[in-house]
Structure 1
Amino acid sequence: MKKTRLVMIVALLVSVFAAGCGNSSSSSSEPTIVIGETEPLSGPLAVYGVPQNNSIKLAVKHINERGGIDVGGKKHRIELVSLDDQFNPTTALSNIKKMVEHEKIQFLVGFMSGSSVMPAFPYIKENKLPTLVGVAPDKAITATNNPYVFHVRPPSDFTGLTSGRFIGEELNVKTMAVVGTTAQGFFKDLIEGVQQGLQSTGGSITTVQGFKVGDQDITAQLTAAIATKPDAIYVGADVESAAFVYKQAKELGYKGRLLGFNGGSKAQFEKIVSADVLEGIYDMIPAEINPSDHSINGPYAQTFLDKYKAEYNVEAPPSTGYGYDLMNILAAAIEQAGTTDADAVVKALNEMPVPKEHMTMKWIPVEGKMFDKNNQAYVPNASFVWTGGDKKVHKEMNSPVQEYSEGLAKIRNASK
């Protein structure tokens, strides 16, 4: 009797173990799509890299909670591999190679700057790695012809051109000094766009003063800018750098307009400056997520903001919409392709309309498509103004999408 009972117990344990192994095997064999991401998760530009990483992770979580990506009638979960490149191009390329060769990623997302992604262009093309670039504002990303690279943030000179016209026509600025991080790749394009737009209204730039990312004392550059007696000073820089510029401009007694291309949230600015310093400053950027006014945003903006706050216990910075949306755009393209084959997904990205669901940003279709013929996506440009401690929407600016797209195509075709 005891022997029979022992045999039954052993048999039961074996069956339970086998069932457990069966479930584990089923789970491990569940179809997955491996996506790689490289960002500055540490260093001076982690202020942008960490929020973009957070938004991408949140999108992956939500897509998986919805059952994953439907590939030819079978659901696939996303596995995300995220690495820190510290805003170092060599590290970024090393990260990409590591993820392709060891993690077997099928798609690539992220990036803070063209200087991080562009050295990898030959490797991306050689390995047929569909890549969606997020918050990086560099024009060269899409001006350089790489069929596997898609850019969701509008280039800085697109915003610069719109801003220059707005500054001259709406703010009646005739002379303007520029202070910013001139070593960053996007800056040259930004200023060329601003100058072109301002000159079209009869205005001019009096001087361009540069400093490095991470610099905290910009008084010398500001003193030189103020000496030209401009109607306004335009600040093209990351959030933390811009905060120091605004603070020191006020300390130097500058009374003219302060304008910027900065982005950033109230919490990010107020780590360095008080609300009274920011009062009246204009920020002219793509129409990113605004917590108090969604008229310039997509239908999913408030839901995203609520879920981001619940997940990370911090307000979502405005630029986080790029990371969240690009993951949903990629998921929609894979579903449209019905396969994870790289060329089929690239074809789907080229042909797909703007997704109808889960978009936080107000994407502008070009000829009915998500991306133009340059693999570039667009959102409207908007002006914001700091009022009473909050950055509020001033107005959506007239953004010349078709005009810009045609000009970009000429440059891209010349790079073939």
Structure 2
Amino acid sequence: MKLGKRLAGLAMLALTLGFAGQAVAAEPIKIGVYLPLTGQNAFGGQLELEGIQLAHKQMPTVLDRPIELVVVDNKSDKVEAANAVKRLTERDKVSALIGTYGSSLAMAGAEITEKAKIPGVGTSCTNPLVTMGKKYYFRACFIDPYQGAAAATYAYETLGCKKAAVLMDMTNDYAVGLANFFIRSFKKLGGEVVGSLKYSSGDQDFTAQLTELIAKKPDIVFMPAYFAEGAIIMKQARELGATFRLMGADAMDNPDTVKLAGKAAEGFLHTTFPYDPTMPTMSSEAKKFTEAWKAAYPEKDTNVNGALGYNSYFMIYDAIKRAGSADPEAITKALAATKDLVTPLGTVSINATHDAEMPVGIIEYKDGKRVYVGEVTPKQ
């Protein structure tokens, strides 16, 4: 009788432990997301979130555990970005982070991530300072020295521009950095920079700066602006009779750029990441992403920000899978070892400075449409 009770007890204990094991296996792996969902950069943040959510829908589990997204709005503010990361790492206990659109926001968040020793993957934050000296922060995009050099190379060699000027937001780290990298590269190529003019975030009237630029007669003006301000600059430049080409960077890569600028966008150029639905040649992974996006968001065009959000999630998913663990240190090591990962943005590898290596695409606006005209390898 006693033996029977003992066996029954052991069976119950085994069953209990089995249920406990299932409970542990089913415990979600939390990935934090901090993006600007309101404020100046909200449009870009929302597009990236849609890409992240699409990737999560396609890859909802890893290591036989569900993945849980914990999303926080950084409100396009540096202090809010730091607070968002603090909340995600301390309260929500995430294993990894995705974010953010906007280099200034990412720099604020990266400092907190580094102290918390939680790996983070920046979506479209291109300023070198985001990852500089960081052990735990990575990014899914190229960096501004590379992008600025690509813009200068395309302007000088492909377009044949010999005289350039820049117009930049002096209050924005992204704009200041890109403008300086463009200037340095354009001069190195043999070009002349005839002017460097400034404005502040939120300005609506650029007449004074544009009038001065027209007087300096550059062949091209590089303006690393966000799309809303960039569209205003385009309109005012054409109203003033400017004949120089205007060129922007990845922050201009937005479905609403041509809607806001209208006819003034004709001939406008900007650098971008190597994905676009108008690409003359598209990889199988890019095609899969495009088809999945259209199925998930039939009312919205595919876009590069969505692809970057998708890639950021995919990089973390791949790192967890290769590490065989959701431990932050293990994920960090796996992210650093990412090599030849086939993605919608091409084959991505993470280099020694934790930046993604990929080509630079060029968009030109023709007949009211954005056209992917090709890629450029910068001469730095």
TM-score by length of 1: 0.81
Residue among 290, 305, 313 paired with 1:305: 290
5 Å-filtered alignment, 1:12-411, equals: 30-64=26-60, 68-70=61-63, 75-142=64-131, 144-264=132-252, 267-274=255-262, 276-287=263-274, 289-293=275-279, 295=281, 298-312=283-297, 313-356=299-342, 359-364=343-348, 370-399=349-378
Matched-pair contact (CA < 8 Å) for 2:277–2:303: no
Percent of residue pairs bearing the same amino acid type: 24
In the alignment, the residues of structure 2 paired with residue 40 and residue 227 of structure 1 have an alpha-carbon distance, to the nearest angstrom, of 38
Matched-pair contact (CA < 8 Å) for 2:147–2:271: yes
In the alignment, the residues of structure 1 paired with residue 157 and residue 338 of structure 2 have an alpha-carbon distance, to the nearest angstrom, of 36
Which consecutive segments of 4 or more residues in structure 1 shift more than 4 A? 25-29, 262-266
Matched-pair contact (CA < 8 Å) for 2:25–2:65: no
In the alignment, the residues of structure 1 paired with residue 178 and residue 172 of structure 2 have an alpha-carbon distance, to the nearest angstrom, of 10
Distance 1:302 1:211, change over 3 A: farther
Following TM superposition, by how much is the alpha carbon of 1:193 offset from its aligned partner in structure 2, in angstroms? 1.8
Matched-pair contact (CA < 8 Å) for 2:89–2:113: no
Uncovered stretches (5+) of structure 2, i.e. residues with no partner: 1-18
Q: CA RMSD in A?
A: 2.3
1:136 corresponds to which letter in structure 2? C
Matched-pair contact (CA < 8 Å) for 1:264–1:317: no
Following TM superposition, by how much is the alpha carbon of 1:341 offset from its aligned partner in structure 2, in angstroms? 1.6
5 Å-filtered alignment, 1:2-17, equals: none
Q: Secondary structure at the match of 2:59?
A: helix
In the alignment, the residues of structure 1 paired with residue 23 and residue 227 of structure 2 have an alpha-carbon distance, to the nearest angstrom, of 43
Distance 1:132 1:298, change over 3 A: farther
In the alignment, the residues of structure 1 paired with residue 40 and residue 309 of structure 2 have an alpha-carbon distance, to the nearest angstrom, of 19
Uncovered stretches (5+) of structure 1, i.e. residues with no partner: 1-22, 365-369, 405-416
Following TM superposition, by how much is the alpha carbon of 1:262 offset from its aligned partner in structure 2, in angstroms? 4.2
In the alignment, the residues of structure 2 paired with residue 103 and residue 343 of structure 1 have an alpha-carbon distance, to the nearest angstrom, of 17
